[in-house]
Structure 1
Amino acid sequence: MKRQELPDVQATKPEIEVGLNRVGVKGVKKLIEIERGGGRPYVLMATFEALVDLPGFRKGADMSRNMEVIDEILEIAIQKKTLRIEDICKEAADLLLNKHTYTTRAEVSMEAEFAIREETPVTKRRTQNTAIIIAKAVSEGEKGYEEIGAVVTGITVCPCSQEMMSGRARKKLSSLGLGEKEVEEFLEEVPQAGHSQRGHATLKMESKDSSKIDVIDLIEVARDSMSAKIFNLAKRPDEDYMTYHAHLNAKFVEDCVRNMAKKVVDKFEHLDDEVIVTMNQSNDESIHQHDAYAERIATMGNLREEIKRT
Protein backbone atom coordinates (compact mmCIF):
# COMPACT_ATOMS: atom_id res chain seq x y z
CA MET A 1 0.00 0.00 0.00
CA LYS A 2 1.43 3.34 -1.05
CA ARG A 3 2.11 5.66 1.85
CA GLN A 4 -0.05 8.76 1.76
CA GLU A 5 1.82 12.06 1.61
CA LEU A 6 0.78 14.27 4.50
CA PRO A 7 0.57 18.03 3.98
CA ASP A 8 3.39 20.17 5.34
CA VAL A 9 1.23 22.71 7.10
CA GLN A 10 4.19 24.41 8.80
CA ALA A 11 5.60 25.43 5.39
CA THR A 12 2.41 27.26 4.38
CA LYS A 13 1.82 30.99 4.79
CA PRO A 14 0.26 32.13 8.08
CA GLU A 15 -2.85 34.28 8.18
CA ILE A 16 -0.79 37.04 9.80
CA GLU A 17 2.63 37.29 8.17
CA VAL A 18 4.68 38.46 11.14
CA GLY A 19 8.16 37.08 11.77
CA LEU A 20 9.10 35.59 15.15
CA ASN A 21 12.42 36.02 16.92
CA ARG A 22 12.66 32.73 18.77
CA VAL A 23 10.85 29.47 18.01
CA GLY A 24 11.85 25.99 19.13
CA VAL A 25 11.93 23.75 22.18
CA LYS A 26 12.76 24.15 25.86
CA GLY A 27 13.31 21.65 28.63
CA VAL A 28 15.32 19.14 26.54
CA LYS A 29 17.21 17.00 29.07
CA LYS A 30 20.49 15.35 28.08
CA LEU A 31 23.29 13.60 29.94
CA ILE A 32 26.62 15.16 28.95
CA GLU A 33 30.26 14.55 29.82
CA ILE A 34 32.89 17.28 30.08
CA GLU A 35 36.47 16.08 29.79
CA ARG A 36 38.82 17.03 32.63
CA GLY A 37 42.35 16.41 31.39
CA GLY A 38 43.62 13.18 32.93
CA GLY A 39 40.85 12.94 35.54
CA ARG A 40 37.41 11.46 35.36
CA PRO A 41 35.01 13.57 33.27
CA TYR A 42 32.30 15.70 34.80
CA VAL A 43 28.91 14.07 34.21
CA LEU A 44 26.02 16.54 34.09
CA MET A 45 22.29 16.23 33.57
CA ALA A 46 21.75 19.33 31.47
CA THR A 47 18.57 21.07 30.37
CA PHE A 48 18.75 22.60 26.89
CA GLU A 49 16.86 25.21 24.92
CA ALA A 50 17.20 25.27 21.13
CA LEU A 51 15.61 28.15 19.24
CA VAL A 52 15.65 29.67 15.76
CA ASP A 53 14.09 32.74 14.18
CA LEU A 54 11.05 32.24 11.93
CA PRO A 55 10.29 34.40 8.88
CA GLY A 56 6.83 35.89 8.42
CA PHE A 57 6.09 33.84 5.31
CA ARG A 58 6.24 30.53 7.18
CA LYS A 59 3.46 29.28 9.46
CA GLY A 60 5.58 27.11 11.73
CA ALA A 61 9.05 25.75 12.45
CA ASP A 62 8.29 22.05 11.87
CA MET A 63 7.86 21.63 15.60
CA SER A 64 7.37 17.86 15.56
CA ARG A 65 10.27 17.23 13.21
CA ASN A 66 12.22 20.08 14.77
CA MET A 67 12.46 18.16 18.03
CA GLU A 68 13.82 15.15 16.15
CA VAL A 69 16.43 17.32 14.43
CA ILE A 70 17.40 19.03 17.68
CA ASP A 71 17.68 15.69 19.46
CA GLU A 72 19.98 14.45 16.68
CA ILE A 73 22.06 17.64 16.81
CA LEU A 74 22.54 17.43 20.56
CA GLU A 75 23.50 13.76 20.33
CA ILE A 76 26.16 14.60 17.73
CA ALA A 77 27.45 17.52 19.76
CA ILE A 78 27.65 15.74 23.12
CA GLN A 79 29.37 12.66 21.69
CA LYS A 80 32.44 14.75 20.85
CA LYS A 81 35.01 15.05 23.61
CA THR A 82 34.96 18.58 24.94
CA LEU A 83 36.55 20.54 27.76
CA ARG A 84 33.92 23.31 27.74
CA ILE A 85 30.14 23.24 28.03
CA GLU A 86 29.84 26.23 25.70
CA ASP A 87 31.49 24.14 22.95
CA ILE A 88 28.47 21.84 23.01
CA CYS A 89 26.11 24.81 22.62
CA LYS A 90 28.23 26.30 19.82
CA GLU A 91 28.35 23.02 17.90
CA ALA A 92 24.61 22.55 18.28
CA ALA A 93 23.78 26.15 17.28
CA ASP A 94 25.90 25.92 14.11
CA LEU A 95 24.31 22.61 13.12
CA LEU A 96 20.85 23.93 13.88
CA LEU A 97 21.39 26.93 11.60
CA ASN A 98 22.55 24.66 8.78
CA LYS A 99 19.58 22.32 9.19
CA HIS A 100 16.99 25.08 8.91
CA THR A 101 17.34 26.81 5.55
CA TYR A 102 14.68 29.40 6.33
CA THR A 103 16.41 30.75 9.47
CA THR A 104 19.16 33.36 9.90
CA ARG A 105 19.77 32.91 13.62
CA ALA A 106 20.01 29.91 15.95
CA GLU A 107 20.70 29.78 19.66
CA VAL A 108 21.27 26.90 22.02
CA SER A 109 21.54 27.31 25.77
CA MET A 110 21.88 24.93 28.69
CA GLU A 111 21.82 24.84 32.45
CA ALA A 112 23.11 22.11 34.73
CA GLU A 113 23.77 21.60 38.41
CA PHE A 114 27.48 21.35 39.11
CA ALA A 115 28.97 19.86 42.30
CA ILE A 116 32.19 21.21 43.81
CA ARG A 117 34.19 19.16 46.30
CA GLU A 118 35.52 21.20 49.21
CA GLU A 119 36.26 21.18 52.95
CA THR A 120 34.36 22.86 55.75
CA PRO A 121 36.23 25.95 57.00
CA VAL A 122 37.10 24.80 60.54
CA THR A 123 36.54 21.07 61.02
CA LYS A 124 37.92 20.28 57.53
CA ARG A 125 35.17 17.76 56.79
CA ARG A 126 34.78 16.79 53.15
CA THR A 127 31.58 18.13 51.63
CA GLN A 128 30.11 19.32 48.36
CA ASN A 129 28.70 22.62 47.22
CA THR A 130 26.44 23.01 44.20
CA ALA A 131 26.19 25.75 41.61
CA ILE A 132 24.12 26.18 38.47
CA ILE A 133 26.35 26.53 35.42
CA ILE A 134 25.00 28.29 32.34
CA ALA A 135 26.17 28.19 28.73
CA LYS A 136 24.78 29.70 25.56
CA ALA A 137 25.83 30.07 21.93
CA VAL A 138 24.25 32.14 19.18
CA SER A 139 25.02 31.40 15.53
CA GLU A 140 24.29 33.99 12.81
CA GLY A 141 26.50 32.91 9.94
CA GLU A 142 29.71 34.92 10.24
CA LYS A 143 28.43 36.56 13.41
CA GLY A 144 27.58 35.03 16.76
CA TYR A 145 28.77 34.86 20.35
CA GLU A 146 29.21 32.54 23.33
CA GLU A 147 28.16 33.00 26.94
CA ILE A 148 29.31 31.18 30.05
CA GLY A 149 28.12 31.79 33.61
CA ALA A 150 27.16 30.50 37.01
CA VAL A 151 24.53 31.01 39.71
CA VAL A 152 25.68 30.42 43.29
CA THR A 153 24.20 30.68 46.77
CA GLY A 154 25.66 32.38 49.85
CA ILE A 155 24.68 34.45 52.87
CA THR A 156 24.37 38.20 53.27
CA VAL A 157 23.78 40.37 56.34
CA CYS A 158 22.03 43.74 56.24
CA PRO A 159 24.41 46.59 57.28
CA CYS A 160 21.49 48.86 58.21
CA SER A 161 19.88 46.52 60.76
CA GLN A 162 23.33 45.61 62.08
CA GLU A 163 24.17 49.26 62.69
CA MET A 164 20.91 49.71 64.63
CA MET A 165 21.80 46.74 66.86
CA SER A 166 25.31 48.14 67.30
CA GLY A 167 23.74 51.39 68.52
CA ARG A 168 21.79 49.47 71.16
CA ALA A 169 24.93 47.63 72.24
CA ARG A 170 26.91 50.89 72.39
CA LYS A 171 24.39 52.44 74.76
CA LYS A 172 24.25 49.41 77.03
CA LEU A 173 28.03 48.95 77.22
CA SER A 174 28.48 52.65 77.99
CA SER A 175 25.90 52.42 80.78
CA LEU A 176 27.92 49.56 82.29
CA GLY A 177 30.93 51.84 82.61
CA LEU A 178 32.97 50.93 79.54
CA GLY A 179 34.86 53.73 77.87
CA GLU A 180 34.39 54.69 74.23
CA LYS A 181 37.62 52.98 73.17
CA GLU A 182 36.69 49.70 74.86
CA VAL A 183 33.16 49.82 73.40
CA GLU A 184 34.43 50.30 69.86
CA GLU A 185 37.07 47.60 70.30
CA PHE A 186 34.39 45.17 71.48
CA LEU A 187 32.05 45.96 68.58
CA GLU A 188 34.89 45.54 66.11
CA GLU A 189 35.75 42.11 67.48
CA VAL A 190 32.17 40.95 68.07
CA PRO A 191 29.96 42.18 65.18
CA GLN A 192 26.37 42.68 66.23
CA ALA A 193 23.29 40.93 64.89
CA GLY A 194 21.71 41.96 61.61
CA HIS A 195 18.94 40.28 59.66
CA SER A 196 20.50 37.76 57.30
CA GLN A 197 19.28 36.29 54.05
CA ARG A 198 20.19 33.62 51.57
CA GLY A 199 21.73 35.35 48.58
CA HIS A 200 21.83 34.22 44.95
CA ALA A 201 24.65 35.65 42.84
CA THR A 202 24.74 35.37 39.04
CA LEU A 203 27.85 36.06 37.00
CA LYS A 204 27.88 35.66 33.19
CA MET A 205 30.32 36.65 30.46
CA GLU A 206 29.56 37.05 26.76
CA SER A 207 32.29 37.08 24.09
CA LYS A 208 33.20 35.93 20.60
CA ASP A 209 35.39 33.22 22.10
CA SER A 210 34.96 32.17 25.73
CA SER A 211 37.95 29.79 25.80
CA LYS A 212 39.82 32.15 28.15
CA ILE A 213 37.05 32.02 30.76
CA ASP A 214 37.00 29.19 33.33
CA VAL A 215 33.58 28.53 34.83
CA ILE A 216 35.24 27.50 38.12
CA ASP A 217 36.70 31.01 38.38
CA LEU A 218 33.24 32.50 37.78
CA ILE A 219 31.82 30.34 40.57
CA GLU A 220 34.53 31.38 43.03
CA VAL A 221 34.25 35.10 42.23
CA ALA A 222 30.46 35.01 42.66
CA ARG A 223 30.66 33.09 45.96
CA ASP A 224 33.31 35.44 47.37
CA SER A 225 31.24 38.53 46.56
CA MET A 226 28.65 37.98 49.29
CA SER A 227 29.01 38.38 53.07
CA ALA A 228 30.17 34.76 53.46
CA LYS A 229 30.24 31.40 51.75
CA ILE A 230 27.88 28.68 52.93
CA PHE A 231 28.61 24.96 53.24
CA ASN A 232 26.20 22.05 52.98
CA LEU A 233 27.86 20.21 55.87
CA ALA A 234 28.58 22.28 58.97
CA LYS A 235 29.49 21.24 62.51
CA ARG A 236 29.14 23.82 65.27
CA PRO A 237 32.63 25.34 64.77
CA ASP A 238 31.83 25.71 61.06
CA GLU A 239 28.47 27.34 61.82
CA ASP A 240 30.21 29.74 64.20
CA TYR A 241 32.75 30.58 61.50
CA MET A 242 30.11 31.26 58.85
CA THR A 243 27.93 33.34 61.19
CA TYR A 244 30.85 35.38 62.50
CA HIS A 245 32.35 36.12 59.08
CA ALA A 246 28.97 36.95 57.54
CA HIS A 247 28.30 39.56 60.26
CA LEU A 248 31.87 40.82 60.04
CA ASN A 249 31.27 41.47 56.34
CA ALA A 250 27.72 42.84 56.17
CA LYS A 251 26.61 43.78 52.63
CA PHE A 252 23.60 45.19 50.80
CA VAL A 253 22.70 43.60 47.44
CA GLU A 254 24.27 46.68 45.85
CA ASP A 255 27.52 46.00 47.71
CA CYS A 256 27.55 42.40 46.48
CA VAL A 257 27.31 43.42 42.83
CA ARG A 258 29.96 46.13 43.23
CA ASN A 259 32.21 43.66 45.05
CA MET A 260 31.68 41.21 42.20
CA ALA A 261 32.64 43.88 39.68
CA LYS A 262 35.92 44.58 41.51
CA LYS A 263 36.77 40.88 41.74
CA VAL A 264 35.94 40.38 38.04
CA VAL A 265 38.36 43.13 37.05
CA ASP A 266 41.08 41.70 39.31
CA LYS A 267 40.60 38.06 38.32
CA PHE A 268 40.07 38.44 34.58
CA GLU A 269 42.68 41.02 33.65
CA HIS A 270 43.57 38.91 30.59
CA LEU A 271 40.15 39.37 28.94
CA ASP A 272 39.46 41.86 26.14
CA ASP A 273 37.65 45.11 26.90
CA GLU A 274 34.76 44.03 24.61
CA VAL A 275 33.70 41.10 26.82
CA ILE A 276 30.21 41.79 28.22
CA VAL A 277 29.74 41.02 31.91
CA THR A 278 26.36 40.47 33.59
CA MET A 279 26.28 40.53 37.38
CA ASN A 280 23.24 40.36 39.58
CA GLN A 281 22.37 39.59 43.18
CA SER A 282 18.98 38.52 44.56
CA ASN A 283 18.41 38.11 48.29
CA ASP A 284 15.60 36.13 49.91
CA GLU A 285 14.71 38.69 52.56
CA SER A 286 14.18 37.23 56.05
CA ILE A 287 12.09 40.04 57.58
CA HIS A 288 10.21 41.15 54.45
CA GLN A 289 7.85 39.44 52.04
CA HIS A 290 9.76 40.79 49.06
CA ASP A 291 13.25 40.10 47.72
CA ALA A 292 16.08 42.59 47.22
CA TYR A 293 17.77 42.79 43.81
CA ALA A 294 20.66 44.59 42.11
CA GLU A 295 22.22 44.21 38.66
CA ARG A 296 24.96 45.59 36.44
CA ILE A 297 25.66 44.82 32.78
CA ALA A 298 28.81 46.35 31.32
CA THR A 299 31.82 45.67 29.15
CA MET A 300 35.12 44.75 30.80
CA GLY A 301 36.50 48.02 29.47
CA ASN A 302 33.82 50.10 31.22
CA LEU A 303 34.27 48.21 34.48
CA ARG A 304 38.04 48.71 34.36
CA GLU A 305 37.59 52.45 33.87
CA GLU A 306 35.13 52.75 36.76
CA ILE A 307 37.21 50.63 39.14
CA LYS A 308 40.33 52.64 38.26
CA ARG A 309 38.56 55.84 39.38
CA THR A 310 37.76 54.47 42.85
Structure 2
Amino acid sequence: MTKILDAAPLADVQAHPDTRRVPISRVGVQNVRFPISVRDRRKAAQHTIANIDMSVDLPHDFKGTHMSRFMEILNSYDDEISVEALPAILRTMRQRLHAETAHLGISFPYFMEKEAPVTGAAGLLSYDCAFDASSGVEDDFILTVKIPVTTLCPCSREISARGAHNQRSIVTVKTRFTGQLWIEDVVALVDASASCELYPVLKRADEKWVTEHAYDNPRFVEDLVREVTLRLRALHQVTWFSVNVINFESIHEHDAYAQVEEPARASSRELPAG
Protein backbone atom coordinates (compact mmCIF):
# COMPACT_ATOMS: atom_id res chain seq x y z
CA MET A 1 0.00 0.00 0.00
CA THR A 2 2.84 2.40 0.86
CA LYS A 3 4.40 1.92 -2.55
CA ILE A 4 1.10 2.77 -4.27
CA LEU A 5 0.63 5.94 -2.23
CA ASP A 6 4.19 7.06 -2.86
CA ALA A 7 4.07 6.39 -6.58
CA ALA A 8 4.13 9.26 -9.06
CA PRO A 9 0.73 10.41 -10.43
CA LEU A 10 -0.49 8.38 -13.40
CA ALA A 11 -0.42 10.10 -16.76
CA ASP A 12 -3.73 11.61 -17.95
CA VAL A 13 -3.46 10.39 -21.54
CA GLN A 14 -6.95 11.58 -22.52
CA ALA A 15 -5.93 15.17 -21.75
CA HIS A 16 -2.93 15.06 -24.08
CA PRO A 17 -3.13 17.36 -27.09
CA ASP A 18 -4.20 16.04 -30.49
CA THR A 19 -2.81 17.59 -33.66
CA ARG A 20 -5.21 16.15 -36.26
CA ARG A 21 -7.70 19.02 -35.84
CA VAL A 22 -10.79 16.83 -36.02
CA PRO A 23 -13.50 17.80 -33.48
CA ILE A 24 -15.81 14.95 -32.40
CA SER A 25 -19.53 15.66 -32.27
CA ARG A 26 -20.35 12.95 -29.74
CA VAL A 27 -18.21 10.64 -27.66
CA GLY A 28 -19.29 8.64 -24.63
CA VAL A 29 -20.80 5.38 -23.42
CA GLN A 30 -23.75 3.37 -24.73
CA ASN A 31 -26.10 0.60 -23.57
CA VAL A 32 -25.73 1.21 -19.85
CA ARG A 33 -28.53 -0.55 -17.97
CA PHE A 34 -29.81 1.48 -15.03
CA PRO A 35 -33.07 1.75 -13.03
CA ILE A 36 -35.26 4.77 -13.72
CA SER A 37 -38.50 6.24 -12.44
CA VAL A 38 -41.07 7.49 -14.96
CA ARG A 39 -44.20 9.53 -14.28
CA ASP A 40 -47.26 7.30 -14.27
CA ARG A 41 -50.66 9.01 -14.45
CA ARG A 42 -52.43 6.25 -12.52
CA LYS A 43 -49.95 5.61 -9.71
CA ALA A 44 -47.65 8.67 -9.73
CA ALA A 45 -44.44 6.81 -10.68
CA GLN A 46 -43.43 3.63 -12.46
CA HIS A 47 -40.09 1.93 -11.81
CA THR A 48 -38.45 0.31 -14.82
CA ILE A 49 -35.05 -0.46 -16.36
CA ALA A 50 -33.50 1.68 -19.08
CA ASN A 51 -30.70 1.46 -21.61
CA ILE A 52 -28.80 4.73 -21.34
CA ASP A 53 -26.46 6.46 -23.80
CA MET A 54 -24.34 9.36 -22.53
CA SER A 55 -22.16 11.56 -24.71
CA VAL A 56 -20.49 14.97 -25.02
CA ASP A 57 -18.67 16.88 -27.72
CA LEU A 58 -14.86 16.78 -27.79
CA PRO A 59 -12.76 19.70 -29.12
CA HIS A 60 -10.23 18.97 -31.83
CA ASP A 61 -7.24 19.61 -29.56
CA PHE A 62 -8.08 16.95 -26.92
CA LYS A 63 -7.03 13.34 -27.49
CA GLY A 64 -9.95 11.77 -25.63
CA THR A 65 -12.68 12.14 -23.03
CA HIS A 66 -12.76 10.55 -19.58
CA MET A 67 -15.17 7.63 -19.99
CA SER A 68 -15.18 6.73 -16.30
CA ARG A 69 -16.71 10.09 -15.43
CA PHE A 70 -19.92 9.21 -17.28
CA MET A 71 -20.33 6.18 -15.05
CA GLU A 72 -19.43 8.13 -11.91
CA ILE A 73 -22.10 10.72 -12.69
CA LEU A 74 -24.76 8.09 -13.34
CA ASN A 75 -23.89 6.05 -10.27
CA SER A 76 -24.03 9.09 -8.01
CA TYR A 77 -27.78 8.42 -8.18
CA ASP A 78 -27.80 5.45 -5.81
CA ASP A 79 -31.12 3.80 -6.64
CA GLU A 80 -32.54 5.27 -9.85
CA ILE A 81 -32.83 8.40 -11.92
CA SER A 82 -35.99 10.26 -12.93
CA VAL A 83 -36.88 12.63 -15.74
CA GLU A 84 -36.71 15.48 -13.24
CA ALA A 85 -33.01 14.72 -12.72
CA LEU A 86 -32.05 14.99 -16.40
CA PRO A 87 -31.17 18.73 -16.44
CA ALA A 88 -28.85 18.26 -13.44
CA ILE A 89 -27.21 15.19 -15.00
CA LEU A 90 -26.60 17.04 -18.25
CA ARG A 91 -25.13 20.06 -16.45
CA THR A 92 -22.79 17.80 -14.47
CA MET A 93 -21.69 16.02 -17.65
CA ARG A 94 -20.78 19.34 -19.26
CA GLN A 95 -18.91 20.55 -16.18
CA ARG A 96 -16.95 17.40 -15.38
CA LEU A 97 -16.10 16.62 -19.00
CA HIS A 98 -15.39 20.25 -19.98
CA ALA A 99 -17.86 20.04 -22.86
CA GLU A 100 -20.10 22.57 -24.56
CA THR A 101 -22.93 20.11 -25.18
CA ALA A 102 -24.11 16.96 -23.38
CA HIS A 103 -26.55 14.32 -24.60
CA LEU A 104 -28.64 11.65 -22.88
CA GLY A 105 -30.57 8.90 -24.62
CA ILE A 106 -32.79 6.81 -22.36
CA SER A 107 -34.88 3.93 -23.77
CA PHE A 108 -37.15 1.84 -21.57
CA PRO A 109 -40.27 -0.35 -21.49
CA TYR A 110 -43.35 1.33 -20.03
CA PHE A 111 -46.23 -0.82 -18.79
CA MET A 112 -49.93 0.01 -18.83
CA GLU A 113 -52.80 -2.03 -17.47
CA LYS A 114 -55.62 -2.47 -19.98
CA GLU A 115 -58.98 -4.19 -19.64
CA ALA A 116 -60.55 -6.29 -22.38
CA PRO A 117 -63.46 -4.51 -24.11
CA VAL A 118 -66.25 -6.96 -23.16
CA THR A 119 -65.19 -9.15 -20.23
CA GLY A 120 -62.95 -6.59 -18.56
CA ALA A 121 -60.12 -9.13 -18.22
CA ALA A 122 -57.07 -7.11 -17.20
CA GLY A 123 -53.39 -7.44 -18.03
CA LEU A 124 -50.22 -5.45 -18.67
CA LEU A 125 -49.16 -4.23 -22.10
CA SER A 126 -45.64 -2.87 -22.65
CA TYR A 127 -44.67 0.09 -24.83
CA ASP A 128 -41.15 0.94 -26.00
CA CYS A 129 -40.40 4.52 -25.00
CA ALA A 130 -37.43 6.87 -25.03
CA PHE A 131 -36.23 10.25 -23.78
CA ASP A 132 -33.64 12.10 -25.88
CA ALA A 133 -32.29 15.11 -24.03
CA SER A 134 -29.43 17.52 -24.69
CA SER A 135 -28.08 20.62 -23.00
CA GLY A 136 -25.57 23.25 -24.03
CA VAL A 137 -25.59 25.44 -27.10
CA GLU A 138 -29.20 24.33 -27.56
CA ASP A 139 -31.45 22.54 -25.06
CA ASP A 140 -33.74 19.82 -26.36
CA PHE A 141 -36.06 17.09 -25.10
CA ILE A 142 -37.94 14.57 -27.25
CA LEU A 143 -40.35 11.90 -26.03
CA THR A 144 -40.70 8.79 -28.21
CA VAL A 145 -43.51 6.24 -27.77
CA LYS A 146 -44.03 3.14 -29.94
CA ILE A 147 -47.60 1.85 -29.93
CA PRO A 148 -48.67 -1.47 -31.47
CA VAL A 149 -52.17 -1.53 -32.97
CA THR A 150 -54.31 -3.45 -35.48
CA THR A 151 -55.20 -2.18 -38.96
CA LEU A 152 -57.67 -3.71 -41.40
CA CYS A 153 -57.28 -3.12 -45.15
CA PRO A 154 -60.12 -1.01 -46.66
CA CYS A 155 -59.43 -2.37 -50.14
CA SER A 156 -59.54 -5.98 -48.98
CA ARG A 157 -62.84 -5.36 -47.18
CA GLU A 158 -64.34 -3.62 -50.21
CA ILE A 159 -63.46 -6.26 -52.83
CA SER A 160 -63.83 -9.46 -50.80
CA ALA A 161 -67.06 -11.40 -50.36
CA ARG A 162 -65.86 -12.93 -47.10
CA GLY A 163 -63.80 -10.95 -44.60
CA ALA A 164 -60.71 -8.77 -45.01
CA HIS A 165 -57.05 -9.08 -44.16
CA ASN A 166 -55.56 -7.21 -41.25
CA GLN A 167 -52.12 -6.81 -39.71
CA ARG A 168 -50.16 -5.60 -36.73
CA SER A 169 -48.95 -2.03 -37.05
CA ILE A 170 -46.39 -0.04 -35.07
CA VAL A 171 -46.94 3.68 -34.68
CA THR A 172 -43.88 5.63 -33.53
CA VAL A 173 -44.69 9.08 -32.16
CA LYS A 174 -41.93 11.59 -31.38
CA THR A 175 -42.89 14.85 -29.69
CA ARG A 176 -41.45 18.05 -28.33
CA PHE A 177 -43.80 19.74 -25.90
CA THR A 178 -44.19 22.28 -23.14
CA GLY A 179 -45.58 21.49 -19.70
CA GLN A 180 -46.79 17.91 -19.19
CA LEU A 181 -47.51 15.23 -21.77
CA TRP A 182 -48.46 11.80 -20.42
CA ILE A 183 -47.31 8.64 -22.17
CA GLU A 184 -50.85 7.38 -21.55
CA ASP A 185 -52.26 10.27 -23.61
CA VAL A 186 -50.05 9.40 -26.57
CA VAL A 187 -51.09 5.74 -26.37
CA ALA A 188 -54.81 6.64 -26.15
CA LEU A 189 -54.50 9.01 -29.09
CA VAL A 190 -52.95 6.33 -31.32
CA ASP A 191 -55.36 3.62 -30.15
CA ALA A 192 -58.29 5.83 -31.15
CA SER A 193 -56.79 6.32 -34.63
CA ALA A 194 -56.36 2.62 -35.48
CA SER A 195 -58.77 -0.02 -36.69
CA CYS A 196 -58.52 -1.49 -33.18
CA GLU A 197 -56.22 -1.24 -30.20
CA LEU A 198 -54.39 -4.20 -28.69
CA TYR A 199 -55.32 -5.87 -25.41
CA PRO A 200 -53.12 -8.15 -23.28
CA VAL A 201 -55.95 -10.59 -22.42
CA LEU A 202 -58.80 -11.58 -24.75
CA LYS A 203 -61.58 -14.05 -24.00
CA ARG A 204 -63.86 -15.28 -26.78
CA ALA A 205 -66.39 -12.48 -26.37
CA ASP A 206 -63.54 -9.95 -26.50
CA GLU A 207 -62.03 -11.53 -29.60
CA LYS A 208 -65.40 -11.29 -31.36
CA TRP A 209 -65.65 -7.62 -30.44
CA VAL A 210 -62.08 -6.87 -31.57
CA THR A 211 -62.61 -8.63 -34.92
CA GLU A 212 -65.84 -6.79 -35.65
CA HIS A 213 -64.55 -3.44 -34.40
CA ALA A 214 -61.55 -3.62 -36.73
CA TYR A 215 -63.84 -4.58 -39.63
CA ASP A 216 -65.99 -1.52 -38.97
CA ASN A 217 -62.93 0.79 -38.89
CA PRO A 218 -60.69 -0.05 -41.87
CA ARG A 219 -57.43 1.89 -42.15
CA PHE A 220 -54.76 2.13 -44.82
CA VAL A 221 -51.33 3.04 -43.47
CA GLU A 222 -52.01 6.50 -44.94
CA ASP A 223 -55.28 6.73 -42.99
CA LEU A 224 -53.60 5.86 -39.73
CA VAL A 225 -50.75 8.37 -40.03
CA ARG A 226 -53.25 11.10 -40.92
CA GLU A 227 -55.62 10.29 -38.05
CA VAL A 228 -52.73 10.41 -35.56
CA THR A 229 -51.54 13.69 -37.05
CA LEU A 230 -54.94 15.35 -36.64
CA ARG A 231 -55.13 14.29 -33.00
CA LEU A 232 -51.59 15.50 -32.25
CA ARG A 233 -52.40 18.87 -33.80
CA ALA A 234 -55.22 19.21 -31.26
CA LEU A 235 -52.83 18.88 -28.28
CA HIS A 236 -51.89 22.47 -27.42
CA GLN A 237 -48.77 21.46 -25.46
CA VAL A 238 -47.22 19.64 -28.42
CA THR A 239 -44.90 22.02 -30.28
CA TRP A 240 -43.38 19.58 -32.80
CA PHE A 241 -44.04 15.97 -33.74
CA SER A 242 -43.15 13.15 -36.08
CA VAL A 243 -45.39 10.12 -36.75
CA ASN A 244 -44.04 6.96 -38.35
CA VAL A 245 -46.36 4.03 -39.15
CA ILE A 246 -45.33 0.57 -40.31
CA ASN A 247 -47.86 -2.11 -41.30
CA PHE A 248 -46.38 -5.60 -41.11
CA GLU A 249 -48.45 -6.84 -44.00
CA SER A 250 -50.11 -10.24 -43.61
CA ILE A 251 -50.57 -11.06 -47.32
CA HIS A 252 -47.52 -9.30 -48.79
CA GLU A 253 -43.81 -9.95 -48.46
CA HIS A 254 -43.19 -6.22 -48.03
CA ASP A 255 -44.29 -3.85 -45.26
CA ALA A 256 -46.30 -0.67 -45.83
CA TYR A 257 -44.92 2.60 -44.47
CA ALA A 258 -46.00 6.23 -43.99
CA GLN A 259 -44.57 9.21 -42.12
CA VAL A 260 -45.59 12.76 -41.26
CA GLU A 261 -43.34 15.36 -39.65
CA GLU A 262 -44.69 18.81 -38.83
CA PRO A 263 -42.54 21.87 -38.14
CA ALA A 264 -42.34 23.45 -34.73
CA ARG A 265 -45.36 25.58 -33.79
CA ALA A 266 -43.62 27.41 -30.93
CA SER A 267 -40.44 27.23 -28.86
CA SER A 268 -39.99 23.47 -28.72
CA ARG A 269 -36.48 22.94 -27.41
CA GLU A 270 -37.05 22.72 -23.69
CA LEU A 271 -35.74 20.38 -21.03
CA PRO A 272 -38.15 19.10 -18.39
CA ALA A 273 -38.19 21.14 -15.21
CA GLY A 274 -36.07 19.79 -12.41
TM range (shorter): 0.7 to 0.9
Instruction: Identify the residue that residue 297 of structure 1 maps to in structure 2.
Output: 261
Residue-by-residue CA offset, 1:101-134 (whole Å, 9 max, x unaligned): 1x21111121211111121001111222221222
Instruction: Identify the residue that residue 106 of structure 2 maps to in structure 1.
Output: 110
Secondary structure of 1:6's counterpart equals coil
Which has the bigger relative contact order, CA under 8 A and spacing at least 6? 2
Unmatched 5+ stretches in structure 1:
80-84, 170-191, 303-310
1:159 paired residue among 140, 150, 154: 154
Unmatched 5+ stretches in structure 2:
267-274
Instruction: Identify the residue that residue 84 of structure 2 maps to in structure 1.
Output: 87
Q: Are the structure 2 counterparts of residues 36 and 164 from structure 1 closer, same or farther at C-alpha, using a change threshold of 3 Å?
A: closer
Judge conservation of contact 1:155–1:198 (CA < 8 Å) in 2.
yes
Give percent identity, aligned residues only.
Answer: 26
Give distance in 2, aligned partners of 1:299 and 1:261: 12
Q: Are the structure 2 counterparts of residues 254 and 37 from structure 1 closer, same or farther at C-alpha, using a change threshold of 3 Å?
A: closer
Aligned length: 262
Give distance in 1, aligned partners of 2:18 and 2:220: 50
**Which protein is richer in strand relative to its size?**
2
Under a length normalisation based on structure 1, what TM-score does the superposition of the two structures give?
Answer: 0.76
Q: Are the structure 2 counterparts of residues 126 and 247 from structure 1 closer, same or farther at C-alpha, using a change threshold of 3 Å?
A: same
1:26 paired residue among 30, 41, 46: 30
Secondary structure of 2:139's counterpart equals strand
Q: What is the RMSD computed on CA atoms of the aligned residues?
A: 2.5
Judge conservation of contact 2:70–2:93 (CA < 8 Å) in 1.
no
1:43 paired residue among 42, 47, 56: 47
Residue-by-residue CA offset, 1:46-102 (whole Å, 9 max, x unaligned): 221111111211222222x234334235x27946xxxxx53233332222112221x
Q: Is 1:288 aligned to 2:252, yes or no?
A: yes
Give distance in 1, aligned partners of 2:256 and 2:136: 36
Give distance in 2, aligned partners of 1:301 and 1:35: 25
Matches within 5 A, 1:161-240: 161-165=156-160, 169=161, 193-207=163-177, 210-240=178-208
Deviation, 1:40, is: 6.4
**Which protein is richer in helix relative to its size?**
1
Deviation, 1:214, is: 1.9
